[in-house]
A and B are shown apart, each in its own frame.
Chain A
């Protein structure tokens, strides 16, 4: 970054260059390491043999069967029913652990039972007989017979003519598909038990825990668990030391000398007005998402029916779960898109002609993608189409068909183009390290990192797919959506006059650095047991411990953040317009620490994850952080914009308050009534009895677990009826009673200074030359 490189009229960098340099360095270092790990993922994944043969040379199954079995697994939505290598949904079993147990029991019987055959059985599974030269994997006679035995079991299970397992009747009846599906499960079970060449543990670091095949925690697992704890404690110490040393310069600081009054109504540009319909769409998607979420949750309490209705004939569990997850991404993303479109004209102080129709075009494209992808998932899971282009791709979080995925990437890119079109005059006058560019870069990262999901495809190995999939699940969501949000929130405060631009920039840079130090390489904490080599576990555990640091920082920062509100409230007699939008940000701080920090770290250590992955403790973290942080932010952004989009006399603070309290109470209930205690029960069961037992469908439907699941109902009802529906009513009000006045030129702030003389003093302090910080 060089000030002199900017145009002569451009504003110089507002913060010291060191901030930009450190940010770039952290990002470059992180992605360099990820690049190396990408190479290692391909180089050291468990091989898919050309053929698996028994001692007589008879082919048990082929590599083509394994690949086709993966496709059968995905397009039938089974990753939204159970899991493989711990990743997927949690109603059905983990099919790796399931196959391994069933096959091991069969082999154990073959070798003479638990007393005589235990050691031989373990040796049978651990011995790696894959021949790299011929591409053949030789199994023992007992293992080959076990394959036939387990194939028969899956034939019965997936061919079940009723909906008793929560799947559509006769989900998979074709014997060839059952053979391929079993081959895929068998291959994952082989990778989970056969020892890596030259190592004493399997390709999956001995996951799942299964005593019958000698799978137990490995030395690196314990070592890196301990070191990640040390990294966490050391990091927190360093953070507080830094905060003690430079605390007065870090975090949100109010413009102490300014007395402000907030513009109650502002004229809006056509594109800003168009965002009303984005928020209506977003709130409608949110309502549908919570309803299908309720339906999927009901399966856990009552597997065989929905209050007497045979729901699975229409909405089997895997479809409800697929829609629940896809809609979560779509409604949150819709809110972020709208917030970006709403803020951009405020940054640029206007917008070019014709922007409104473009924004409506984007909304139309979004509606097409949403309805098309949901319909495709319906058709795919019901077996009406086997196309992964229009139907169901089936990867968790990337369930939507390929066509819809490509269109979504294009739509997000179009959105960035629209932002650029609005921002262009302002960008030309700014240093590339200043707020307008940060806003643009953070927006650009959204399509860029979502597009990485296109590298995931049915023909690739599960391990490679998981590597890229988590770039979307973790890196896109937890790093780049978080950064975009930080920039948008910072800009909101600047526009409201609550913080100076330079302070906002410092906060943004600090957040980007802290999130990226842990978050980029920390992505690998999802790949402890996916078949990636041990360095993924080591680096993932160590760096993801650092992900807790920004969350800790946020709790410290919350005090200075709260002071902002107190300062501005004290400086004006009028009620603060964005009371409930800011309250959502307060709630984000709470859920960030509890949901992402505590519940996330709870399952982050490799030794804990070894027993826990795929249990309700993962859902617990997922719900508390996804809804508590990203969902709550999306709602906060919606409330901020809707306040301006609605006629003043039609705005209802009571509805906003109801939304806020119901979402938080419902979420707390959801977490503490069901997900957290259920996760603890499952973890205990996993360690005490085995992972297979903790994830078995029979255990999931046991009386105790069903009771814990039923306890969630009141919280879910409050969440849906008191939280999601009032938000939709608020959005509909904005559409029915739009605020008056349209303009193509906007003021650059949403406040008026009552005491400009006092703030001149501050302005002179803020204009210190860059580099003096």
Chain B
């Protein structure tokens, strides 16, 4: 499939957006009480990090196998930037 790098980039961005959504929701629901209120944001944070690692892996593997063309590299690079930005936000 020739548009595989584009699809992989789109999917990595989708995963990053889901991770961002988890993080945003957790910040809305800033806990005011004790456990297990405190666990739900943690639950989402772990899932968000899992999705970001997966997004990174998808981009890395696709770049290794299909990253020879400039257009592929451009789409993968742009997606990597989005994933990195979300990762920075989640880590912060």
Contact = CB atoms under 8 A, between A and B. Distances in A.
Interface of A: 562-563, 565-566, 569-570, 576, 579, 582-583, 586-587, 590, 661, 664-665, 668-669, 672-673, 677, 681, 704, 707, 711, 714-715
B43 A586 contact: yes
Contacts of B54: 669, 672-673, 711, 715
Given A665-B50, A668-B47, A704-B4, A565 B35 contact: yes
B46 A579 contact: no
Given A587-B43, A664-B47, A704-B4, A566 B61 contact: no
Contact of A566 (B36, B46, B57): B36
A517 B30 CA distance: 35
Contacts of A707: 61, 65
24 contacts: A562-B36, A562-B37, A563-B37, A566-B34, A566-B36, A569-B36, A570-B33, A570-B34, A579-B36, A582-B36, A586-B40, A587-B43, A590-B43, A664-B47, A665-B46, A668-B47, A672-B15, A672-B18, A672-B51, A673-B54, A673-B57, A704-B1, A707-B61, A714-B57
Nearest to A585: B36
A704 B51 CA distance: 20
Interface size class of B (residues with CB under 8 A): 20 to 34
B43 to A, nearest CB: 7
A503 to B, nearest CB: 19
Given A669-B54, A707-B65, A711-B58, A565 B37 contact: yes
A566 B37 contact: yes
A664 B39 contact: no
A569 B35 contact: yes
A576 B37 CA distance: 13
Contacts of A582: 36
B36 A565 contact: yes
Given A677-B11, A707-B61, A711-B58, A668 B37 contact: no
Contact of A569 (B34, B43, B47, B57): B34
Contacts of A665: 46-47, 50
B35 A579 contact: yes
A563 B36 CA distance: 8
Q: Which of B34, B37, B50 has the most CB of A within 10 A?
A: B50
A715 B58 CA distance: 13
Given A563-B33, A587-B43, 13 more contacts: A563-B37, A565-B34, A570-B33, A576-B35, A582-B36, A586-B43, A590-B43, A669-B50, A673-B54, A673-B57, A704-B4, A711-B57, A714-B57
Nearest to B4: A704
Contacts of A586: 36, 39-40, 43
Contacts of B57: 673, 711, 714
Contacts of A590: 43
A465 to B, nearest CB: 38
B39 A566 contact: no
A493 B92 CA distance: 37
Contacts of B37: 562-563, 565-566
Given A669-B50, A707-B61, A566 B35 contact: yes
Contacts of B1: 704
Contacts of B34: 565-566, 569-570
A652 B33 CA distance: 26
B43 A664 contact: yes
Contacts of A583: 36, 39, 43
Contacts of A570: 33-34
Interface in B4-47: 4, 7, 11, 15, 18, 33-37, 39-40, 43, 46-47
A715 B39 CA distance: 22
A681 B65 CA distance: 19
A711 B35 contact: no
Contacts of B47: 664-665, 668
Contacts of B65: 707
Contacts of B33: 563, 566, 570
